[in-house]
Amino acid sequence: MISNPYIYLLTLAFIATALYSIETKLKFRVFKLVPAIVMIYASSMILATSGVFEFNEEVNSIYKLTKSNLLPAMLFLMLMRIDFKHFFKLGKSLLIAYVLAVLSLGIGFIVVAIIFNFSPEMSAAFGALAGSWMGGTANMIAVGSALGVSEEAFAYAFVVDSVNYTLWVMLLLFLVPFAKYFNKFTSSDTNLAYVSDIACACNMGAKRYWLLILLSLVASFLAQYISTIISILNTPTTTVIMATLLGIGASFTKLKDLNGSSEVATSMLYIIIALIGSKAVIQSFSGLGVYVGAGFSILAIHAAIMIVGAKVFKLDLFSIAVASLSNIGGVASAPILAATYNKNLVSVGVLMAIMGYIIGTFGGLLVGNILIGITS
């Protein structure tokens, strides 16, 4: 049993580093089905459920300290790279499709919460899931922390996020060959606006990494300090919102050009995921079926609204599919789907997914508080 706080943290860091390295260096096929981030969470959860970690006062203290400091730092770096000018150049059809995707997901969560009669705990967990499906895993963690989601409920939501997302990606890829039939049904204009690819062929040095880490920790300190002065709902929510606003503010400065923020933020994300997994001691999975069923119901409502919206606004399948996956899948999968239509459109998926880092936090908090309000 691990009772030393530093060995506890070192163990989690080793798990995150090892699985990330295996995914990126060896490129095993299994990681296409089960990403490293899911394996990291599952590994630390299995260790916790097996009783490997002893959560004494010291271990609990380092868990709280590490998570509370890394979360706002990660959010700051994730948002610092956003380019609003490129996003608004996507074109009318793509922007309508993106807004439609966000709104339909929000509606889906609210309707399903009422139908399934969510408990307050389940509402908070699905609020975190809304953060993920409107943005990404980072948003899910931020919203979950702000809403005070329990480790077990978060584990269920994380499973839903992984399982439902995987099947959704498969469905959208399967539909690609049928695009011409769908476009005929919606009478859409398939002349898409082309946006140049966004890429960086730059060498990252140690000094640049240290600068990014320093900036992120300063932003984390500021976000937490401001949350002690003013309060929006509660302290965790205020910290998340302040870190988000600081990141958005930085995106309008030259800090946006500091390449490597995504890599450093991802490293922080993996550590946080390992930390949360280490607290997820699952006694049974008896309630998991309800979570998964509710997740599929949300996707069904989302799909129905997207199809109706495509007919009304004459949107093509590419626009609504990439808009959907940029929310539900994020930057890891939206560009892949875009490339299956046309390799020149990869950046469309990237831009939509990156914007989700902003929408996901605010959207998840809004949806989560609505769910808690109507189910309390």
Per-residue pLDDT tens for 99-143?
999 999 999 999 999 999 999 999 999 999 999 999 888 889 899
The better pLDDT of the pair 366, 210 is held by: 366
With a cut of 50, say whether residue 331 has pLDDT above it.
yes
pLDDT at 217: 93
pLDDT at 156: 87
Residue range 237-256, pLDDT digits in tens: 888 889 889 988 988 888 88
**Average pLDDT over all residues of the chain:** 84
CA distance 242 to 346: 31
Q: Which CA distances in Å does 187 have to 183, 306, 318?
A: 6, 15, 13
CA distance 131 to 363: 6
Beta-carbon-side half-sphere exposure of residue 128 (alpha carbons within 13 Å) = 29
- Tokens representing residue 155 in the block: 């584990």
- Tokens representing residue 53 in the block: 């970690």
Confidence of residue 203 (pLDDT cuts 50, 70, 90): very low
The better pLDDT of the pair 298, 39 is held by: 298
Output phi, psi for 181, to 5 deg.
-70, -40
Cross-strand bridge partners of residue 234? 232
Terminal-to-terminal C-alpha distance of the chain: 39
pLDDT at 205: 53
CA distance 326 to 222: 30
Residue type, 37: I
Residue range 353-371, pLDDT digits in tens: 878 888 888 999 999 999 9
With a cut of 80, say whether residue 335 has pLDDT above it.
no
pLDDT at 206: 54
pLDDT at 204: 47
With a cut of 60, say whether residue 196 has pLDDT above it.
no
* Overall average pLDDT of the 209-231 stretch: 90
pLDDT at 299: 95
The better pLDDT of the pair 143, 273 is held by: 143
Residue boundaries of the structural domains of the chain? 5-375
3-state secondary structure of 231: coil
Least confident of 37-41, 212-216, 290-294: 37-41
* Overall average pLDDT of the 287-316 stretch: 92
Q: Which CA distances in Å does 263 have to 77, 175, 219?
A: 9, 32, 17
- CA-angle at 104, arms to 98 and 105, nearest 5°: 95
The better pLDDT of the pair 226, 348 is held by: 226
